[in-house]
């Protein structure tokens, strides 16, 4: 499957600061999905992007798919302690299964 | 509504012992099923996926195997565990034609 690279690996922010994680691929992706995994929990689906340049928002979260469909980002505005966890991007170019990036672990200090 | 059950939640097994982890899905039929492994502080590695009964695709060659004896049942097995098999094992399912994955609660396996 197509490998996606995520940066940064870790991010520590103060509550109220913004946070962004990036997902990059060397080849064009058919789609990109984002998941959140709370500490000790299992990954939970957040969103899927399929169109070039697509932008979707979920409250304080903004998801973008690049024009060339080779990169994606997740931006959180004014982080809260409930945002703590690891954020994964994943793609399914094979059409059957998802291949996940290594994730960005977010720590939010009150 | 659909639910996925995975057990046990935690497991401590000695090196060389066998393994059997079970996953069942309720509320849907003919799902795609997946086994992922997550090493401590790492990403998710796809181990096996299945598009139907008896159909198993292996992504990573190792001493693990998977079986799908029934439509909504997926089993991960090993004849002899290695220390390197320790990790967090996650079962997931998706609807045919859609790769959005729904994960079980996971099994935390420690091989000692």
Phi, psi of A73 (to 5 degrees): -140, 155
Whether B32 and A96 lie within 8 Å, measured CB to CB: yes
For residue B59, list chain A residues with Cβ-Cβ distance below 8 A.
1, 97
- A44 at interface of B, judged by CB pairs closer than 8 A: yes
Phi-psi region of A78 (alpha: psi -120 to 50; beta: other; left: phi over 0): left
Mean pLDDT of chain B: 93
With contacts defined as CB-CB under 8 Å, which chain B residues touch A41?
A: 105
A8 preceded by cis ω (within 30°)? yes
Angle at B107 between CA B42 and CA B73, to 5 degrees: 115
Cα–Cα distance list, A48 to A98, B5, B31, B61, B72 (Å): 12, 24, 19, 30, 25
Say if residue A95's pLDDT is above 80: no
* pLDDT 10s digits, B17-62: 999 999 999 999 999 999 999 987 678 999 999 999 999 998 876 8
Inform me whether the pLDDT recorded for B86 exceeds 90.
yes
Our CA-based measurement puts residue B44 at a distance from the nearest CA of chain A, in whole angstroms, of 6
Position A1 pLDDT exceeds 60: no
Minimal CA–CA distance to B30: which of B65, B64, B2?
A: B2
Taking CB atoms and an 8 Å cutoff, what residues of chain B touch A42? 90, 103-106
| A9 contacts in chain B (CB < 8 Å) | none
Section B91-98 average pLDDT: 91
Q: What is the DSSP string of B24-90?
A: EEES-SS-EEEEEEE-TT--EEEEEEEEETTEEEESS-SSEEEEEEETTEEEEEESS--GGG-EEEE
Distance CA B101, CA B28 (A): 13
Q: What is the mean pLDDT of residues A64-73?
A: 97
- Cα distances (Å, whole numbers) of residue A59 to A45, A75, B17: 15, 11, 48
Those of residues 77-106 in B touching chain A at CB distance below 8 A are 90, 99-106
**Chain A residue at shortest CA distance from B49:** A97
Q: Which of A2-11, A40-49, A54-63, A99-108 has the lowest mean pLDDT?
A: A2-11
With a CB cutoff of 8 Å and minimum separation 6, the contacts of B69 are B53, B54, B75
Q: Is B105 left (phi over 0), alpha (psi -120 to 50) or beta?
A: alpha
B90:A43 CB<8 A: yes
Please give the distance of CA A67 from its chain centroid, rounded to a whole number. Answer: 17
């Amino acid at each position: 499957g197509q490998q996606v690279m995520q940066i940064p690996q870790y991010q520590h922010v103060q509550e109220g600061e913004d946070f962004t994680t990036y997902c990059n691929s060397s080849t064009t992706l058919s789609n990109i999905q984002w998941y959140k995994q709370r500490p000790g929990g299992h990954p939970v689906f957040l969103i899927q992007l399929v169109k070039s340049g697509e932008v979707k928002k979920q409250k304080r979260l903004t998801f973008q798919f690049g024009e060339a469909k080779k990169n994606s980002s997740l931006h959180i505005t004014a982080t809260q302690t409930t945002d703590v966890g690891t954020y994964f991007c994943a793609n399914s170019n094979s059409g059957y299964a998802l291949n996940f990036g290594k994730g960005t672990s977010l720590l939010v200090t009150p | 509504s659909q639910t996925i059950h995975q057990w046990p939640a935690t497991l401590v097994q000695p090196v060389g012992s066998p393994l059997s982890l079970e996953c069942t899905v309720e509320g849907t039929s003919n799902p795609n099923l997946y086994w992922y492994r997550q090493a401590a502080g790492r990403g998710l590695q796809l181990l096996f996926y299945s598009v139907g009964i008896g159909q198993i695709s292996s992504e990573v060659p190792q001493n693990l195997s998977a079986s799908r004896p029934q439509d909504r049942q997926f089993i991960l097995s090993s004849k002899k565990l290695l220390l390197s098999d320790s990790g967090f094992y996650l079962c997931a399912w998706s609807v045919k034609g859609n790769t959005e994955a729904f994960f079980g609660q996971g099994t935390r396996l420690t091989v000692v």
